[in-house]
Structure 1
């Protein structure tokens, strides 16, 4: 019941309320595995990608989002799974490997996998150095990478705020990046860094953000 209500009522309502501007939607291939690599400004970034994409988009989320009890917990779980979230326990030593393998399965099924290479939300609105998981996934699966810029999502749900606000956002999709020339080199750290930096360069160009050559987690810790 919750899933039906979300698909038929909530998702169309969100499109009407937020009226997202979408640019470059034609850059998302109609078939085959695709990695949508976007900047990360707010909790709502991944849901907005799924809201406007022409094909279903799957992304990772904390398993606690779908384990709540009661009506509220069930409704929350139905919302996140409906918009494409795959619950994964990302904590601990095995968390990163589990996340990578989950993304790989999605792509090997010919689907779209959404990822935020920064790994965590930007602490100040700037674009931070990307983690190389996006490059490993591209090389392991042969998926093209479509850079994505989310603009204005931090105003929808500022850090620390539980309830979203109504604010128009823009989602820009860049031209697909094909890294098949590096096939078989998914364990070469220099290749992985070069691919990741190329992806982040396109995200920076699309978003207009200032780039910081350090990881967002380090910036938050400082």
Structure 2
């Protein structure tokens, strides 16, 4: 079930419900940067198999659809019911549902991969370890996770932004900027093994560099003789 006990979940949900249609029109999946697409293909290759892959923060569903086109049995989870409704409307052949990455409604070791493109940015620092612990619990041994996020700038004292308006709608939406080292450290603490980190500089209307971290849940080692 979706975790509704935290204020940040409620405000994030309400904010994306308010801007869902404008967001979907402004950010079609076709606008993914070429490097983003390349990393998505690399993730898909490592996740391709029979176990489903969860796209966390799937929004209007375009990236989930791209994973499906790449041969990955993907489904989307989003906090916003309005986003889920738009995704179902745009991609009726795929599965989307509401949920939170801090409390995934999936069995232990059931996912063949987790994708979180620019969705962990709305999770406060105090709750990110909980989300990564859920990633570890839900992933099958050996399964990958790809996280993308806007990067904290060097020397930035307050890597946090609260928006009160977007697309002319009144909202309360928090953004948390982080370094690659911080995210890889938290993944490691959650029992996941980082395998690659990529950074690209801002493109187009972007104002921050993007960081991509690929990790996986370790496979059990060989039993001692």
Q: Does the pair score TM above 0.5?
A: no
Structure with the bigger RCO (C-alpha within 8 Å, sep 6+) is: 1
More helix by share: 1
| Normalised TM-score (structure 2) | 0.39
Higher strand share: 2
TM-score by length of 1: 0.39
